[in-house]
């Protein structure tokens, strides 16, 4: 006799399956506002903070995809891999990952530091910046001052356009496209 397990599926899960979308855990490596760190390094590899981060992202994913599939616009989109629904769901998942990270930083990481002040110094060392300052800047549209200084030196144009060096200004008044580093 074979045992068949039935999993409860809901509309969100069905939509993910129908549109060929697989969900993976977010990476433990976080890159935000010029700072890169491993979520696992924040608690000496125990993974408790990473688990909280995964939970936050999962909650946001479910919330945003649920809102999306309930809209009239979504019901009018074509279904299947590479369809409009596929693109809309992936966009919602990407947005949810960012929102989950912001919520994790504002609430969970801040609470950890408030509850365990002794962790502030090692976390600041791992992040390369004061942890409270990092949380403040990471959750706003600003950069940490040290990183902003580095960006100001390189140039901040999203198009990768840098001003001409003084010796090339005479030849051309336009901007030369150069790769951003």
Length of the chain: 181
What number is the average pLDDT over the span 103-113? 88
The Cα 123–Cα 119 span in angstroms is 6
CA dist 81 → 21, 68, 86, 96, 133 (Å): 8, 17, 6, 20, 42
Helix or strand or coil: residue 32?
Answer: strand
Domain assignment of residue 85, yes or no: yes
In a domain, 117, yes or no: yes
Domain membership of residue 159 (yes or no) is no
pLDDT, tens digit, 9 for 90 and up, residues 74-105: 999 988 888 999 999 999 999 999 999 999 98
- For 105-130, what is the HEC assignment? HHHHHHHHHHHCHHHHHHHHHHHCCC
Does 156 reside within a domain? no
* Model pLDDT, residue 151: 53
Mean pLDDT of the chain: 78
pLDDT band at 3 (very low <50, low <70, confident <90, very high): very low
107, two tokens: 């609430």
Q: Are 56 and 104 in contact (CB under 8 A)?
A: yes
Contacts 24+ apart (CB under 8 A), 27-32: 30/101, 32/101, 32/138
Tell me which of 140 and 50 has the higher pLDDT.
Answer: 50
In a domain, 87, yes or no: yes
- Number of domains within the chain: 1
Supply the range of the domain harboring residue 87. 11-142
Collapsing DSSP to helix, strand or coil, 57 comes out as helix
Band the pLDDT of 62: cuts 50, 70, 90: very high
Partners of 176 in beta bridges: 162
Q: Does residue 47 fall inside a structural domain?
A: yes
Dump pLDDT digits (tens) for 123-137.
Answer: 888 877 788 888 888
Q: Which two tokens stand for residue 22?
A: 């697989």
Evaluate whether residue 115 is within a structural domain: yes
Contact 74, 85 (CB under 8 A): yes
Quote the CA–CA distance of 69 and 16 in Å, as a whole number.
Answer: 10
Can you tell me the distance from the alpha carbon of 60 to that of 38, in angstroms, rounded to the nearest whole number? 21
Q: How far apart are CA 119 and CA 42, in angstroms?
A: 9
Say if residue 64's pLDDT is above 90: yes
Q: What is the pLDDT of residue 33?
A: 73
Q: Is residue 42 part of a domain?
A: yes
Q: What is the pTM of this model?
A: 0.69
């Amino acid at each position: 006799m074979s045992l068949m397990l039935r999993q409860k599926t809901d509309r969100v899960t069905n939509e993910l399956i129908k549109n060929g979308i697989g969900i993976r855990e977010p990476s433990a490596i976080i890159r935000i506002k010029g700072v890169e760190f491993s979520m696992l390094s924040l608690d000496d590899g125990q993974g408790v903070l990473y688990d909280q981060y995964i939970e936050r992202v999962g909650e946001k994913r479910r919330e945003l995809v649920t809102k999306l599939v309930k809209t009239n616009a979504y019901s009018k989109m074509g279904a299947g891999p590479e369809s409009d629904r596929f693109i809309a769901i992936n966009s919602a998942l990407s947005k949810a990952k960012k929102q989950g990270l912001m919520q994790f930083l504002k609430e969970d990481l801040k609470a950890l530091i408030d509850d365990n002040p002794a962790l502030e110094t090692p976390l600041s060392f791992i992040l390369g910046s004061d942890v409270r300052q990092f949380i403040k800047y990471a959750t706003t549209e600003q950069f940490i001052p040290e990183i902003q200084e580095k960006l100001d030196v390189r140039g901040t144009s999203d198009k990768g356009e840098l001003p001409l060096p003084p010796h090339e200004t005479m030849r051309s008044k336009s901007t030369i496209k150069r790769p951003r580093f």
